[in-house]
Chains A and B, each alone.
Chain A
Amino acid sequence: MAETDTLPAIATRREEATGFFQKLVSKGLGWARKNSLYQYPFVTACCGIEYMSLASARYDIARFGAEVPRFSPRQADLLLVVGTINCKQAPILQRIYEQMADPKWVMAYGVCASSGGFYDNYATVQGIDRIIPVDVYVPGCPPRPEQVLDGLMLLQKKIQEQEHKLIDRLPAAELARGR
């Protein structure tokens, strides 16, 4: 078969070609994004001690390219909610989440952030998924660093399988408060 024979076929199946190209771009972007997660540690309670262990030399979260804590939500990709979130703090957390630029992911670190933990009382939010969307839940009180690394690898897998675009615009309604 001559090479020219295939050319018109591609031209008529233009959508398929763009789809193929987009998939390639998506894969590449996913690979880049999953290996350079800048985190915003929202540390409120005792899990923070374990977070320090995770971030420092022994467990070394840098192996997964997530070693840069950014203390501004505008520069972060991954929101780590580390610790108990009570009702008074819920609006703050929500605001931090809304300030993060897309694409963004959220990890609930420890049972308190995932489900309220044993604080089933008048003050504690029963899981941060009630106020912001969550990608990965890491159980444990506090979770061992291995567990968090496992959660991080799950998140990386999730990111790799998501669809990424070069220019990604969410509809304005999605960004509005209160959803």
Chain B
Amino acid sequence: MSKAVTAALKEKFPDAVQEVYEGVGGDDCAFVKKDAVAEVCRFLKEDPAMAFNMAPYVTAVDYLGQEPRFEVVYNLVSTRLNHRVRLRVKVPESDLEVPTVTHLWRGADWFERYCFDMYGIRFLGHPDMRRLFMYDEFVGHPLRKDYPLKGRQPLTAERNFRDLYRGPGPSGRD
């Protein structure tokens, strides 16, 4: 891919854009500071030379054991100029609040809710910061690496009967 986007980013935000590199497959990637992400995204969307009009995927990663622990990844696409960029934002566990980008791309709404549901990252300014997949009674964030793999939280009382193969009762059966 051309380096035009990342070069322009580096030039416009010398402090906020920390590191620029070419990812696997030639994608343009950049590490962006957490507080500046909304500003950088606004530039990417509104500058006519960038024209990123779509955020097809926003997700998060949990690097347990590293500091800072979390990372939010924004994949942006310009359907007009046919180029992409990937922004990576480091989020420390002590401060899980990231500015929202829903006012720029309406489609980022559910992705941000997903990140909140699965990783517990809060997006400041999001209009409706609720869980996306799990139910409200659910405690914890299941895609965090320290959440137990089989940490099921049933909503209804499970039937208690002897099972020949899986052993007795719901509590001891897993």
Which positions in A face B, CB cutoff 8 Å? 87-88, 90-91, 94, 115, 120-127, 129-133, 178-179
Contact = CB atoms under 8 A, between A and B. Distances in A.
| 6 closest Cβ pairs, A-B complex | A130-B158, A122-B142, A88-B135, A122-B151, A90-B156, A91-B156
Nearest to A133: B159
Contact of A88 (B155, B158, B159, B161): B155
Given A122-B142, A123-B134, A123-B142, A87 B153 contact: yes
B162 to A, nearest CB: 12
Q: From DSSP, what is the main secondary structure of chain A's interface residues?
A: loop
A122 B135 contact: no
B128 to A, nearest CB: 18
Contacts of B106: none
A87 B157 contact: no
A131 B152 contact: no
B149 interface: yes
A136 B156 CA distance: 22
Interface residues of B, number: 23
Contact of B174 (A88, A126, A131, A132): A126
Interface of B: 133-135, 142, 147-159, 161, 163, 166, 170, 173-174
A132 B158 CA distance: 9
Contacts of A131: 156, 158-159
Contacts of A91: 155-156
B159 A90 contact: no
Given A121-B149, A122-B142, A126-B173, A87 B159 contact: no
A133 B156 CA distance: 14
A114 to B, nearest CB: 11
A115 B173 CA distance: 11
B154 A122 contact: no
Contact of B157 (A122, A123, A124, A178): A178
17 contacts: A87-B135, A90-B154, A91-B155, A94-B156, A120-B149, A120-B150, A122-B142, A122-B148, A122-B152, A123-B152, A126-B173, A126-B174, A129-B159, A129-B161, A129-B163, A130-B154, A130-B170
Contacts of A123: 133-134, 142, 152
A22 to B, nearest CB: 29
